Chain A
Amino acid sequence: MAVRPEAFGALLYHFGTRRLSFLKDPLLLTVVQGLADHPTARSACESAGVGAGAMPAYERALRTLAGSAMIRLRDGGS
C-alpha cells in the first residue's frame, strides 16, 4: 500500500487489489499513519487529536478502509 499526501488529505493505492482510495481529511491521514505505533485504533485517533464527539465518524472511516484492505488488523491484535 502506498500513501501520497495531497492538499485535501491523501491518496492511497493498494498494489495487490489495484484499488485507489481517498482520505478526504488530513487528520485521518495522521490517524492512518499513526496506526502502526499505537496499540489500538482508538489510541491512534486520540493521539492524532480526534475529539470524543468525532470518534464515531473516524471509526466508520477506518472500517471503510479495512473493508477495502487498505488497513488490516495486526496479526494477533484486536
Chain B
Amino acid sequence: MTALPVAAATTTTTLPLTAQFARGLSAPICLTWELTYACNLSCVHCLSSSGRRDSRELSTAECMAVIDELERMGVFYVNVGGGEPTVRPDFAELVDYAVAHRVGVKFSTNGIKISPAMASRLAGSDYVDVQISLDGATEEINDAVRGAGSYRTAVAAMSNLAGAGFRGFKLSVVVTRQNVGQLDAFAALARRYGAQLRLTRLRPAGRGASVWAQLHPTAAQQRVLYDWLVAHGQHQPGGTTPRNPPQDVLTGDSFFHLAGYGEKLPGLNLCGAGRVVCLIDPVGDVYACPFAIHESFLAGNVRDDGGFARVWRDSELFASLRQPQSGGACTSCSAYDACQGGCMAAKFFTGLPLDGPDPECVRGHGEAALALAAAGDVVPPRPSPDHSRRRERGPVPVTIGRRRPPDRACDEDPLAGFTVGAG
C-alpha cells in the first residue's frame, strides 16, 4: 500500500483508529489499479507476472466508468501500475479524465515513456504523482533484476522530471538482499533529482514467488534496514504532526512486520487487505491487495452488476477479512501487538498458514515455520494468472529444496545463476 503520513486530529477516544480501519471503510484509502499486463520489461520479481497484454483488458470507456465510480465513492487517488501503465495508448487520456473527476493519480513506471514533453505535462498538476521504479543504485545491481538498459531508462526519466520542474516525485525501490547495502546511495540519487525515496518490501507474489528465497533480505539485513529507517526519520511515535514532520523516506506502510523489533514505524501498521486496500487488475478483477493476485483473494470483477462499489461493499471475501482475525500461533508472542503477524500475501505464497508468523518474522519464527512447511512437503500456492512473455528466459528454477520446478521450460527465470554481493 502507499504511504500514509498519519495526522490524526483527535478529540475523543473510542476504538483505536486501526481497529476502525480493520472493520473496513466505505471505500478504499489506497486503491491500486494495474492498467495493463503489458510491459516492456520482464523484472524477475514482478508482482503481477506481467509481460503480455491480456486481450480482455478493460477498454477506455470501461476505465472511464470505473473512474466515475471512484469519484462517486470518494476515492481520493488511485495507485496506477501494471505492467507498464504508460504503454497503454490511452494512458494520458485516462490520467486527464481522472484528474478532471478529482481522482488523483499516482502511477508507477519504469520510465520508458517519460520524455521531456510527458514530464512537462505531468509536472503541471497537483493531482498527478509519479513513482520511478529502480531496484539498484547501480546499473549492475538494478539491471540484473529489472533487465538490461532499465537503469538508464529510469535515470533518464528522473532527469526529465527534474528538468520539467516536477519536485517530489518518488524514487521507488524494492529492498532486496542485493541492494539493501545501497540505501544511502538511493537516498543520494533521490536527492540529486529532487525526488523522495520510497522503499518497499519484496513480496513473494507473481514471479517474485520464484525468486523470493534468493532476493529477500537476510535476518541481519532486516535489522540494518529497520535501523536505517529509524535513523532516516521513519520513526515517529505518535504519528506525523507539525512538530513531527513527514518522513524523509516513504515506505508505503510496507515494513510493518519489522515493528517486532521495537517501536512501530509510521503508518497504520496493519494489513489493509480488503479493509483499506484492494487491487483492480487490468481485466477488472478485484483482489484483496496488490500482492495477492490469486484466485483465493479474488473478490469479484468491476464488470459484474453493481460494479466496483458492490464488490468493495458486498463481497464475501472482503466481509470475512473485516472480521476480527485470529493471531493463531502468534498470539502468545510479545511482538504480536506490534507486527500483527505480518503480511498475509507473504505467508500465503510461501506456503505458511495465514494465522501464523510472517516468513520474515523478526523473532525468527518465520524461518522455523518455513522449515516445518518444507519438512512437511508443503507446496506453496502457485501465483496466478501468469502474463509473462513466453519467449523470454523467464522465471528461474530455484534449486533449493521445496520449490517446484517450472511447469514449462520457458518459465525459467533470467535470474538463474545470479549472484551479486550485498554492497
Contact = CB atoms under 8 A, between A and B. Distances in A.
A4 B129 CA distance: 21
B26 A64 contact: no
B4 interface: yes
B5 A20 contact: yes
B11 A64 contact: no
A72 interface: no
B14 A20 contact: no
A40 to B, nearest CB: 18
Given A2-B76, A7-B20, A68-B242, A15 B7 contact: no
B7 A24 contact: no
B242 A22 contact: no
Nearest to B125: A15
A4 B243 CA distance: 26
A35 B20 CA distance: 26
Interface residues of A, number: 32
Interface residues on B, range: 20 to 34
A44 to B, nearest CB: 14
B168 to A, nearest CB: 8
Given A2-B102, A15-B104, A22 B8 contact: yes
Interface in A19-69: 19-25, 27-28, 54, 57-58, 60-62, 64-65, 67-68
B241 interface: yes
A23 to B, nearest CB: 6
A27 B27 CA distance: 21
A22 B25 CA distance: 12
A18 interface: yes
Contacts of B399: none
B246 interface: yes
A20 B29 contact: yes
B193 interface: no
Interface in B81-130: 102, 104, 126-127, 129
Contacts of A2: 74, 76, 102
Contact of B241 (A7, A17, A27, A64): A64
Contact of B6 (A6, A20, A23): A20
Nearest to B242: A67
Most buried by B among A11, A18, A20, A24: A18
B17 A8 contact: yes
Most buried by A among B6, B8, B14: B8
A23 B9 contact: yes
A28 B11 contact: yes
Contacts of B27: 4
A16 B246 CA distance: 14
Contact of B129 (A11, A18, A25, A60): A18
Contacts of A65: 7, 9
A54 B129 contact: no
A-B pairs, top 6 by smallest CB distance, nearest first, are A67-B242, A13-B76, A4-B74, A21-B7, A24-B10, A61-B9
6 contacts: A11-B29, A15-B126, A20-B4, A22-B9, A64-B242, A67-B242
Given A4-B26, A64-B9, 7 more contacts: A4-B76, A8-B17, A15-B127, A25-B10, A54-B11, A67-B241, A67-B243
